[in-house]
Structure 1
């Protein structure tokens, strides 16, 4: 009996069991891959997007920054991870932040509408902070290099297409949507937004077909007396602001 049990143990493979095949690009299971919705070939743009990503974003299963990276030509979307920028691991970021052609999307008192920037003086590099609004504020506060950048904001942001995720306010967009809309403005190509956001539509469609439900923003729920729990101080402050950074994301 002991010998048979030993033989059974010997026959067990040391390798983990095979999991569902994953797409090499998006790293999602092939059956839920959104890569067919990416632009082919990737979009060629003169502008560059630099994403400063809070480490917590890596843990999110539905993050959208990768959609932007794959939707643009190589090198047109660069992601740096951290809680303070730049640091010794960020390579060329210091040079980018020192450039007069670099803009920061951030809703400060000094920010100007992106639509009013002299586009003929481009191409520009646009820096986005990827994280929740509290995370974005913390990154900004701890990164003096960002304070020196020209700051811009989007005026007509619309409502997020990321309908399977609850946003704080009606004007909050995912990182992908924010970048796509900014590129549409900077490149004077309105169609870019829909082209780059198409993978997000595909993702949401699949999730809805498999049990997910559409989410209204917390702002909408509060206005319609549908919010299920008491509102906290942080959300209350956020809702009093007229602008959101656009990175309650993926």
Structure 2
């Protein structure tokens, strides 16, 4: 027999009133590090540079809004590893008017790190042409990055550059489109090592990324192979029809 059905309406009101008076238990939050904002048990600070790495290059990172809500992002590592006035994160997909971006993309010392038919090898850029460079990167999945580039004509103004490297991304907890594709952090690290003529910046900036990946793998994450690798080895899952997929590039 259902005992609840034997309560009178007044008794029900009394029970509900008593329940409503009970203190609400707040879920216990894990303590986090003030510097890297990670839980203290997986703090990245031991792997970060003890002092911010000094660079003259100004980084302008155009970040797709979906990237901001991801837990395992790489841009925050750049933000706490480089001088605060050298890393500028600008979020959005389409910019009809943006005074800063409009100004920066008009300067002759501004470069856009984005592969394409017109992109030149970053190594070919003369370092003595200007006191410093502005470097624009697009942060997001490749479809999102292509959408941002296509939908914002001001991004077609700067000289377009690419990295010609024979390396595989160490960001193994996220699937890359090709074996040669790098995370935003890695791309920035390699580019800065060229523009600053400081090869050591690669290790300084990617060391915390490796630690981040190691922490995730220790807690059950599975290493990801690139889509290119999966296709070559017949490991791709059956393709989902386009009308069932979310259009990531918003183009």
What TM-score bracket applies, with the shorter chain setting the length?
Answer: 0.7 to 0.9
Q: Aligned equivalents of 1:17 and 1:145: distance in 2?
A: 46
Of 29, 46, 58, 2:56 maps to 46
RMSD between aligned residues: 2.2
Name the residue aligned to 1:245: none
Of 23, 26, 30, 1:12 maps to 23
Relative to 1, partners in 2 of residues 1:194 and 1:231: Cα closer, same or farther, differing over 3 Å? farther
- Could you give the per-residue CA deviations for residues 189-233 of structure 1, whole angstroms, max 9, x where no partner exists? 111111101111111111111111221111112212222334989
Question: Within 5 A, what are the aligned runs for 1:184-223?
Answer: 184-223=193-232
Question: Within 5 A, what are the aligned runs for 1:33-72?
Answer: 33-72=43-82
Residue 157 of structure 2 corresponds to residue 148 of structure 1: yes
Unaligned 5+ runs, structure 1:
234-250
Q: Aligned equivalents of 1:33 and 1:171: distance in 2?
A: 29
Q: Aligned equivalents of 1:18 and 1:147: distance in 2?
A: 48
Q: Does the 8 A contact of 1:160 with 1:174 survive in 2?
A: yes
Q: Which moved more, 1:129-138 or 1:3-12?
A: 3-12
Unaligned 5+ runs, structure 2:
1-10, 243-251
TM-score, scaled relative to structure 2: 0.84
Name the residue aligned to 2:112: 104
Please state whether the residue corresponding to 2:190 is helix, strand or coil.
helix
Name the residue aligned to 1:126: 135
Name the residue aligned to 1:238: none
Deviating beyond 6 angstroms after TM superposition, the runs of 4 or more aligned structure 1 residues are 1-5
Residue 36 of structure 2 corresponds to residue 31 of structure 1: no
Please state whether the residue corresponding to 1:103 is helix, strand or coil.
strand
Task: Select the structure of larger CA radius of gyration.
Answer: 2
By how many angstroms is 1:4 displaced? Answer: 8.0
- Could you give the per-residue CA deviations for residues 13-59 of structure 1, whole angstroms, max 9, x where no partner exists? 4x843311222333322222213211110100011111000111012
Residue 167 of structure 2 corresponds to residue 162 of structure 1: no
Q: Does the 8 A contact of 1:103 with 1:126 survive in 2?
A: yes
Please state whether the residue corresponding to 1:135 is helix, strand or coil.
helix
Q: Aligned equivalents of 1:67 and 1:198: distance in 2?
A: 10
- Could you give the per-residue CA deviations for residues 142-183 of structure 1, whole angstroms, max 9, x where no partner exists? 111111111111111510001121211101110000000000
- Could you give the per-residue CA deviations for residues 66-124 of structure 1, whole angstroms, max 9, x where no partner exists? 10111101111110000124634xx5333222211110112222211000001112310
Q: How many residues align?
A: 230
Q: Aligned equivalents of 1:195 and 1:147: distance in 2?
A: 31
